[in-house]
């Protein structure tokens, strides 16, 4: 599950600096607004990588790579190629190619290369 947040920070109050707050004490304000929850992974999501201005990919312990639409949160693709957790992910684009390569490494001792069409 991925959560989109929008927000920023104002100056910290003394309440926010307190390391421990008990029941009934004033709780710190959450400065972020949840925009959307993206569901698709079955285990911990460890990596996010931008593909282009319109898409990003997520990867993690379930061995899946999911490609998402940045604006709508729609899942565009599900890439399966690993039997264990993904340990690294990167993108590679070439000026002369009509696609972006998405390269992943896994605990299963394999690399996977997916070619994603350029939008």
pTM: 0.71
Phi, psi of 14 (to 5 degrees): -65, -30
Measured CA to CA, the distance from residue 100 to residue 116 in angstroms comes to: 5
Measured CA to CA, the distance from residue 23 to residue 33 in angstroms comes to: 24
Task: Please choose, from the candidates 106, 83, 103, the residue with its C-alpha nearest in 3D space to the C-alpha of residue 94.
Answer: 103
Q: Which domains does the chain have, with CATH numbers?
A: 45-115 (2.40.10)
Sequential pLDDT tens for the chain (119 residues): 555 555 555 544 444 444 554 555 566 666 777 778 889 999 999 999 999 899 999 999 999 999 999 999 999 999 998 999 999 999 988 777 678 889 999 999 999 999 887 65
Task: Please choose, from the candidates 55, 57, 38, the residue with its C-alpha nearest in 3D space to the C-alpha of residue 46.
Answer: 57
| Residue pair 86/57 in contact by the 8 Å Cβ criterion | no
């Amino acid at each position: 599950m991925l959560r989109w947040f929008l927000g920023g920070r104002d100056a910290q109050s003394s309440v926010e600096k307190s390391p421990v707050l008990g029941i009934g004490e004033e709780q710190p304000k959450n400065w972020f607004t949840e925009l959307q929850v993206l569901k698709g992974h079955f285990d911990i999501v460890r990596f996010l990588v931008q593909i282009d201005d319109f898409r990003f990919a997520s990867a993690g312990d379930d061995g899946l790579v999911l490609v998402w639409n940045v604006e709508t949160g729609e899942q565009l693709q599900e890439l399966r190629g690993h039997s264990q957790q993904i340990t690294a992910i990167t993108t590679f684009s070439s000026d002369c190619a009509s696609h972006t390569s998405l390269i992943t490494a896994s605990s299963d001792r394999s690399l996977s290369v997916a070619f994603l069409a350029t939008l």
